[in-house]
Amino acid sequence: MKPNSLNRMVLVISTMSLAGMSIPANAQQQPQEEQKQPHKQPQQQERSEQQSEQGQKRQQQQERARQQAQEEQRQQQKQTQEQERLQRKSEENQKRQQQQQQERARQQAQEEQRKQQKQSQQQERSQRQSEQRNERREREAEQQDRRISRQQQQQLIHQQQEEVKQYRRYLEQQESRAREQAEELRRQNRLAQYRYQEEYLEHLREQQRRLRDERFDYDRDPYFYAAPIYRYRRGGRYYEIN
């Protein structure tokens, strides 16, 4: 053989030997990889589930955080509204208190003004009364200085005594008539009217007793000795009195 042919044969044999050795090796590796794949799938699934659970947990945490933030925001808004309400209420109370104070001050001022007016009126009234008393004293003093004559005084005394007698006769007539009416009412058994009539009778008797017991001191009464200072008209006639 030629050397070139021998070399080619060696090369082919070595190639075949290498090929024969590599084929079984590949054949052994392939089942091992196939055996490893079933173990990898549950791990991957577990990791996926863990990742999914973690994602859900993160979403839940984020949702809770969002809800918590919303709740805090609502609480802050509520606190802000409550503070604003309290502030408005405080301002309204202050305003109401100021109005009440102003009203009280106005009422006090009015009361003070009324008191001052009342005091002024009382002072004016007291001054007028004092002036009237002084004028009356002056008139009385003038009356004492201006006495009427003895004859005029006797006429006034006689006139007064006649008027008293006439009034006594009038009371007696009224008493007699009242007694008759009371007796008639008693016979008719009209007790209410009878009691009223008895009270009227007692009133008439009391007037008669006062007239009997009363004693006029004509010398000390200015009406019977002082000169007249007033004049009035009645029934077409003029009358003068003191």
Question: Whose CA is closest to 242, among 163, 145, 127, 131?
Answer: 145
Question: Residue 7 above 60 pLDDT?
Answer: no
36 vs 116, higher pLDDT: 116
In a domain, 71, yes or no: no
Total domain count for the chain? Answer: 1
In a domain, 89, yes or no: no
What pLDDT does residue 39 have?
Answer: 53
Q: Which residue has the tokens 């577990």?
A: 46
**Pair 227, 146: CB distance under 8 Å:** yes
**Pair 242, 229: CB distance under 8 Å:** yes
Distances (CA, A) of 188 to 17, 178, 185, 191: 174, 15, 5, 8
**Pair 140, 132: CB distance under 8 Å:** no
- When pLDDT is cut at 50, 70 and 90, the band that residue 142 belongs to is low
Strand partners, 124: none
Q: What letter would DSSP give residue 147?
A: B
- List the single range of 20-24, 142-146, 223-227 with lowest mean pLDDT: 20-24
In a domain, 53, yes or no: no
Please tell me the number of Cα atoms within 13 Å of 85 on its side-chain side.
Answer: 6
In a domain, 189, yes or no: yes
Q: What percent of the chain has pLDDT over 70?
A: 79
**Pair 175, 205: CB distance under 8 Å:** yes
In a domain, 174, yes or no: yes
Q: Whole domain around residue 212: which residue ranges?
A: 150-241
Question: Residue 11 above 80 pLDDT?
Answer: no
In a domain, 140, yes or no: no
In a domain, 230, yes or no: yes
In a domain, 195, yes or no: yes
